[in-house]
Each structure stands twice: as C-alpha cells, then as structure tokens.
Structure 1
Amino acid sequence: MRARLWKDRYLLLLGLPGLAYFLVYKYAPMFGLYLAFIDFNPFQGIFNSEWVGLEHFRRIFEDTEVVKVLWNTLYLSFLQIAFAFPMPILMALMLNEVRNQVYKRVIQSIIYLPHFLSWVVVVGIWIIFFRGEGLVNIFLRDSLGWETIPFMTDPSYFKPMIITQVIWKEAGWGTIIFLAALAGVNPSLYEAAVMDGASRMRQIWHITLPAIRSTIVIMLILRLGTVLDSGFEQVFLMLNPFNEETQNVLDTFVFFKGIQQADYSFATAVGMFKGVVGLVLVMAANQLAKKFGEEGVY
C-alpha cells in the first residue's frame, strides 16, 4: 500500500486541491446542520442553545408559506426538466448533422459562450431588454403600436423568463457532453443504415439516440438530485417587490429566513430537508435506471 502511494504521489498531489475544496466547502459546513435541531441563540452560542429535536422540521409541514414556496420550487424545476434539459440533446443532434467542421466549431463556440457569464450579467442583460422602457418594449410600442408589457413586474412572466435564461446560458455548455458521447458512435452503423435505405431521421432515432441513451439517463439522474435547487442567484436577482410574494423558491426563502429574519435554525432545517429530498431522488432514480438496464451513476 505504501509503495503504491509513493508511486502515485504526484497524481495524489494533483488531486489535493480538489479534495481540499470538497473538505472545506462541502463537508466542513455540514457541522452547521446541528443548528436544525436546536433553537439557536447567537448570545448563548451553539452548544448552550436549547435542544428542540425535530421541532423545526415539523414547522416545515405546518407553515403554509413553506408549502407555497415548495410548490413554486417543484413547479419551476419541472419546467426546467421539461424544457431546458432536452435542449442540449436537441442542439447536439443538430450540430452532429453539420458536415462543415469550421462552421460547426464556430456555432458550438458561440452557443456555449454564455455559460461563462455570471448570473448578474445575464439578469442585467435581461433587464435592459425587457424592462418597461427596455429595447423590447420600445420596439413593440414604436414599431407595432402595442402597449408596454410588464415583463419584469408581472408574476406570470417570471417562470418563462427564468426558463429562457437557463436555456440561453447553459444549453450550449451541456451540448458539449452529448457531442462527446456522439463522437463514440461507430460510423459503420450509419453506413449500414444507409445501405438499408434509412433516412436521416431514422438514423437519428435508431442509432444516434440509443447510442447516447446512457449519457441522457445519467444526466437526468444528476438533475433530479437538484430538483429542489432552483438556482439561488438567478431567482434572487429576478425577484422584486411585485413578484416576490408569489415567485419565492426554497433557496431564496432560506436566505430571507436565515439572513434577513435571523431564524437560523428553521432556515437550516429547510436547507437540510432540501438536501435529503435530493439524495432520495438520486438514489431512487439510480435504482430505477438499473432496472431498465442502464448503468446509473453508481
């Protein structure tokens, strides 16, 4: 064992920064979950605060505001899975059909560049375009004679705009994963299909999609693990006094409760509940994938 560790010492040293990241930012903060089981008082400290057991978890199911926020989170996550998750697959299939490699690389570079923009920049761009006196409303009013549309203040536009932002920012980056999977498809399968008279759509349906099915399943399992994680930064930046009451999600709810209202223990309980639900969903989806003959995540 020692000889093997010494042999791979340089590889282990390369892995130390990644290991340190997870230890410092993922595992060490889990000590704070203790706050979910006490009535934390900053003046008494963590260990001198009153132990309340599962009291805060009972509040989660008794608080009508939590139920509403939970529904908003689930609904938004469902919309992201239904509309945003398939987009990288569709874009990868379309790019895979492009035969001009220069054109293909240019398009691929353009569509994944938004991934490197922060949500602050993305939401800032959206505000410039869709605010009351934004570019879109100016065009609709001056060119088409329409009334000003309150994109940023009408709650009914909140979720469609969130989904559109996610697609625009992340679909191109997700395309890389599926293009890598498509690169492993044996070209002789397409040649045999052409000999049999299969059209391009038939080739995609019977060769391309089955070839990346395992990748799709793995990505879907990982996405289910974050079904209660709607993206704090994006949602927080899109909230305003006009839509905050109806469009709040779990991540922003935890922030408002824990930071603004100083209800640290209850906020910690909600965050822990979210993590446990995500873990259960990943394990259930992984087992379901194995029953259908896929490898799963583990």
Structure 2
Amino acid sequence: MPDMAKQPDVVMDPGGKISPAIKKNKSVIKSLVMSWQLYAMVLPAVIMTLLFAYVPLLYSVIAFQNFKPYHTMNHVFFHADWVGLKHFKYAFSLDAAKQAMVNTAVLFVLKVIGNTIAPLIFALLLNEIRREGIKRSIQTLVYLPHFMSWVILGGILIDVLGQQGVVNVMLGRLFGADPVPFLLNGDWYRAVIVVSDMWKEFGFGAIVFLATLAGINPALYEASEVDGATRWKQTLYVTIPSMLPITLVVLTLTIAGVLGYGLFEQIFNTYNGLVYDKGDVIDTFVFRIGIQTGQFSFATAVGLFKSFIGLILVVIGYRLAYKYANYKIF
C-alpha cells in the first residue's frame, strides 16, 4: 500500500475530482510557459500603458489640492494643502468652463451618431457591389484617411476651407459668392468638425459592419427571395435586423473613442479664438488652463469631471451591448 503521507495535497470537490480552480491555474501557467515569447512581445506595451495611463491616475488627487509645479511627490501625497471640491465648484461657476462642457456634449452626440450611422450606410451600399475589383478599390480609398494624423488633415482643412482656400476661391469665381467663414464662424465650424471626422473615420469603421454582413446566413436571403422579397425588402427585414447587435457594439466603441481622444486632436489643430463659443471643448479648455496658464489643479478637476461622465456613458453602452448583442470585454 502506498505511503499516503507522501502524496501531494490536492484540492478535491465533493465528487472526488480535482477542483476546477486548480485545473484553471495549471492551464494558465502552462499557457504562460508555452507562449512566453508572445507575452514577452506584449510586455513593453503593458509597461507603457501602466506608465502613461495608470500611474498618472494617482496624481488625480491634485484636483482636490492647491497644487504647485514645484511640489514634490512627497508633498502631493503626504503634505498637500487639501481644498476639497473648491476647483469643481469654481469650474461650474466659470462661463468658459460651462460653455466648454456644452460644446463637448453637442459635438459628442453629433459625432457618435455620425460615426455610427455613416459606416453602417456605407457598408450596406458597398455590400451591393458585385464586382470584387471595384469593391476592393473603393474600400482601399476610403480606408486611407483613417491613417492620416489630424496634424496633416488640420492643415489641409485650413488650406481648403480658409477664407482664401480652394472652396471659397471656386465659389467666388463660379458664382460670385462671398467667402464662407467655414473656420471663423462657430456654427459652420461645428459642421466642419463633425463632417470631416465622419469622412476620416467612416471607411475604417465600416470594417466591422462588412465582416458582419459576410457572416449573415445566406439561407435567410434565399428564403426571403422565395417569398418574393425585393432587394430593398431583404435589406430592410433581413440585413438591418442582423446588423443591430453589432451596431450597439460599434456605438459603445465610438463613445469610448470620441470621449478618449476623438475631440482634442481635431479641434486643437483647426480652431481659433473666433470659434471658442462653439468649438472649445473640455480637452482644449483643460490644455489652455493647465498647460498655458499653469492652473494644474483646476484643469485636473475639469478633466476628472469629464472622465467621470465618460465612464458612466461607456458603462451604459457596454451594458446595452452585453444585453442586446452578448458583447463583453471581460
């Protein structure tokens, strides 16, 4: 009879089998050992994310302090001059800050709607093209703007839509019209921001929709065709309902993208003092207040407020995507 005292301690479930938790831990360790090269390749990106995304979160505490640039880390965390919600209250009493919040909300809604609907419509139209060569050529052309920086595109917009830009020169020569203040009037500026962002992103955003269209069961179209459905009816009653779940996923990702980085770069590279009333958003306001005037605590408070609202919206979008599209990150 074997010596039971020498047997390794193993966690058993009531049925006498090895616990699933033990099996899971072993599988994780095995995966790490067998694929260590892949994890090593990911490690630099993980370290960069920790350093530039998560470590700075610790300094969000300066939103509740009278922070000065010469304060050390020890002062920030152990000897700070705490002021509570002073900076938040000041933000809501400042007209410029409140206007930036309103502008952010308006542009956010317009961008989320545009950057969700435009790729969907484009994917539906592109899916109707039967010649693969033409289809792929169009796909390539509309993808390209996504890979261009707003630094470049901002300069192009200024050259094309400026008072002496190509569009105004053509309008003047062909129709004798006065220059249109595309980038000098707040209302025109908002339209330029929304439309140019849609133009830049709709091609790349259509990738998910095209993949979904390719995965729709062909039997659904065949059955509807037997029932006498036209192409339009097939799109209305087969294609679009099949696209609704992934549309919620794209909506969630668009919300995160617009709130994360989708406003600052574009507006910072195209706006000017004449359109602050309609074009200044929280990100550009925080940049001017924090970087240019040195009010770091106040700027952090405004940015923290925006992050809190963004978190709520992303969670709501995520829950909707999980409920109706069975999409989950974790």
TM over 0.5: yes
- Cross-structure match for 2:153: 122
* Alpha carbons 1:221, 1:297 under 8 Å: kept: no
Paired residue secondary structure (1:153):
coil
Equivalent residue for 2:269, pick from 222, 225, 237: 237
Deviation at 1:156, TM superposition (A): 2.0
Alignment of 1:96-135 (within 5 A): 96-135=127-166
Q: Are residues 1:95 and 2:126 paired? A: yes
TM-score for the superposition, normalised by structure 2: 0.84
Which of 253, 276, 291 is the aligned partner of 2:308?
A: 276
Amino acid at match of 2:102: W
Alignment of 1:252 with 2:279, yes or no, is no
CA contact (8 A) 1:131 1:151 kept: yes
Give the aligned length. Answer: 297
Compare 174-183 and 240-249 and name the one that shifted more.
240-249
The question of 1:7 aligning with 2:38 is answered no
With over 3 angstroms needed to count, the CA separation of the structure-2 counterparts of 1:225 and 1:115, relative to structure 1, is closer
Deviation at 1:289, TM superposition (A): 4.5
Change (3 A) 1:250 1:241: same
Give the letter for the 2:134 counterpart: Y
> 1:1-298 alignment to 2 at 5 Å?
1=26, 2-46=29-73, 47=75, 48-225=79-256, 228-229=259-260, 230-291=262-323, 293-298=324-329
**C-alpha spacing 1:296/1:56, structure 2 compared with 1 (3 Å):** farther
User: Secondary structure of 1:238's partner?
Assistant: coil
Unaligned runs of 5+ in 2: 1-25
1:67 aligns to what SS in structure 2? Answer: helix
CA distance in 1, matches of 2:277, 2:267: 13
Supply the distance in 2 between the matched residues of 1:191 and 1:246 (Cα, whole angstroms): 50
- Answer with 280-289 or 252-261: which moved more: 280-289
| Secondary structure, counterpart of 1:107 in structure 2 | helix
For 1:133 and 1:57, locate their aligned partners in 2 and report how far apart those are by CA, in whole Å. 42
Cα deviation 1:50-109 (Å, max 9, x = unaligned)? 111222222232323221110111011111123332100000111111110010000000
Percent identity over paired residues: 37
Two-structure CA RMSD over aligned residues (Å): 1.9
Question: Is the CA contact 2:248–2:317 (under 8 Å) kept in the aligned structure 1?
Answer: no
Q: Rg: which structure is higher? A: 2
CA distance in 1 between counterparts of 2:317 and 2:273 reads 38
Given that 1:74 and 1:228 are in contact with CA atoms closer than 8 Å, whether structure 2 keeps it comes out as no
Name the SS for the 1:156 alignment partner. helix
Look up the equivalent residue of 2:42 and give its one-letter code.
G
Secondary structure of 1:11's counterpart equals helix
CA–CA distance in structure 2, aligned partners of residues 188 and 209 of structure 1: 16
Q: Distance in 1 between matches of 2:134 and 2:248?
A: 30
